[in-house]
Amino acid sequence: MKFRYPEKVLQSQSSLIREVAQRGKTIHGFLSFAMGNPARESIPVGLIEECVTEVFKEDPMAVLQYGPMAGDAELTKWVTERVINAKGAKREDNHAMVLTGSGKALGLLPRTLCGEGDEAFCDAFTFPNSFHSMRNVGATPIGIPMDDDGMIPDALEKEAKRGKGKYIYLIPNFQNPTGMTMPLQRRKELYEVASRYDLVIYEDDPYGDIRFSGKEIPSIKSIDTEDRVLYVGSFSKTLSAGLRVGFLYGPDDLVNKISKVKSADGQDPIFNQKIIYRCLQKMDYEEHLKKISGIYGRKCGLMADTLKANCPDCCKILVPEGGMFIWVDLPEDADIDKISEETIAGGVGVVKSEAFAVDSTNKGHGFRLNFSASEDEDIVKGSERFGKLLQKYF
């Protein structure tokens, strides 16, 4: 039969990120900086194995039968306390929900807040699933121009004035793909615009706990006097990406509605949540974060130094204070598509800015490089390769 899809589903949204990784598989000696996998050595494999065994043995039926729709109560409580204590969130009129990966919230918020024809705002270059999810519900994502501090408040206001917007998606710490961290002043300014136009703020913070330089900046949630911020976090970068455990913390009313939408999808696996909770009980999580931030910082430094030594001077290398990505900005007239093809053929996988562009007519002129997933030796080799290739152009 010929299926009659709604317009929202017919829009193309292939992943250029996975495409680079896939194409690299056919190239001998290919070094990929494309995917955002956590550093292998930062995953506490032995501890997780212990927890897997213990959780199963202690009460097999608790993991094998249907569980509570709301997720594991102990982990939910742990998350609540941490978001309050470590991220400065207030306790009153807000609550937490555990999710199968923080990415699930990318779909849940627009499903809860947006009808067809609504708009939602995000950085002009950002994590693609954030705007794919907006499109999936028939809402229009509007990419807002950025400067060195992130989304530009005046540019946001210009779009918000139309009155069709429902929420703003932001990654204030070590943004994906640019690695940029938003200063407190900018966070406050954007909050004011949100307040003026009655917008929810989706504060996505998957990388926030991996800071290896600079000083921590208060979360937007911590300045959320009007209960308009949904703070979303993850254990994917700090404990295990494959177990898929993330969470959100936000205003009671909003979280209750999200929960209602979510419950029609059925339950999430409770085993994974219990494994993560057990890990948190058995480890010093804050110490663990310091340790892995050290690993990430060293890898970042290695890539940054190699890029600086090998890239032409006209390239702007954005070295982040945390997270897992370095952004290399090329001159505006650079032929990004051609360079991208040549890097892949030349055996190094970097992702061109187009992969993160909300607006396909504004493809940008940069590349995202992941430094967490590769071994030191490959970081150096691949960065050299990339830098030398760029030298041919500039």
Q: Which of residues 112-171 bind its own copies (CB under 8 A)?
A: 112-116, 118, 129, 132-133, 136-138, 166
Q: Say if residues 211 and 293 touch (Cβ distance below 8 Å).
A: yes
Nearer to its own copies, 251 or 320 (CB): 251
Nearest Cα residue to 134 out of 162, 171, 109, 161: 109
User: Which of positions 321-380 make contact with its own copies (CB under 8 A)?
Assistant: none
Classify 187 as helix, strand or coil: helix
Least distance in Å: CB of 124 to its own copies?
Answer: 19
Binding residue (CB under 8 A) for its own copies from 95, 104, 368, 385:
104
Q: Does 242 bind its own copies (CB under 8 A)?
A: yes
d(CA 9, CA 73): 36
Nearer to its own copies, 114 or 318 (CB): 114
The crossing angle, in degrees rounded to 10, of helices 376-391 and 285-310 is: 30
364 exposure class (CB count in 10 Å sphere: 0-12, 13-18, 19+): buried
Sign, CA dihedral 208-186-371-319, equals: negative
Q: Does 259 bind its own copies (CB under 8 A)?
A: no
Nearer to its own copies, 38 or 320 (CB): 38
Phi/psi of residue 341, nearest 5 degrees = -60, -40
Binding pattern for the stretch 181-210 against its own copies, x by CB under 8 A and - elsewhere: --------------x--x-x----------
User: What does each C-alpha distance from 164 to 132, 140, 157, 193, 275 come to in angstroms?
Assistant: 18, 10, 12, 14, 42
Q: Does 257 bind its own copies (CB under 8 A)?
A: yes
Classify 211 as helix, strand or coil: strand
Q: Does 311 bind its own copies (CB under 8 A)?
A: no
Classify 362 as helix, strand or coil: coil
**Residue 331 tokens, joined:** 């001159």
Q: Does 21 bind its own copies (CB under 8 A)?
A: no
Q: Does 270 bind its own copies (CB under 8 A)?
A: yes
Q: Does 56 bind its own copies (CB under 8 A)?
A: yes
Least distance in Å: CB of 318 to its own copies?
Answer: 24
Nearer to its own copies, 110 or 150 (CB): 110
Q: Does 289 bind its own copies (CB under 8 A)?
A: no
Least distance in Å: CB of 146 to its own copies?
Answer: 22
Q: Does 5 bind its own copies (CB under 8 A)?
A: yes
Q: Does 60 bind its own copies (CB under 8 A)?
A: yes
Binding pattern for the stretch 82-101 against its own copies, x by CB under 8 A and - elsewhere: ------------------xx
Nearer to its own copies, 35 or 302 (CB): 35
Q: Does 73 bind its own copies (CB under 8 A)?
A: no
Binding residue (CB under 8 A) for its own copies from 29, 58, 64, 91:
64
The DSSP 8-state label assigned to residue 41 in this structure reads G
d(CA 213, CA 138): 40
Tokens 């050290």 belong to which residue? 294
Q: Does 42 bind its own copies (CB under 8 A)?
A: no
d(CA 145, CA 152): 6
Contact range with its own copies by CB under 8 A, out of 2-10, 297-305, 309-317, 353-361: 2-10
Nearer to its own copies, 2 or 215 (CB): 2
* 200: amino acid identity, one letter: V
The crossing angle, in degrees rounded to 10, of helices 270-282 and 45-58 is: 120
Q: Does 28 bind its own copies (CB under 8 A)?
A: no
**Residue 328 tokens, joined:** 């290399």
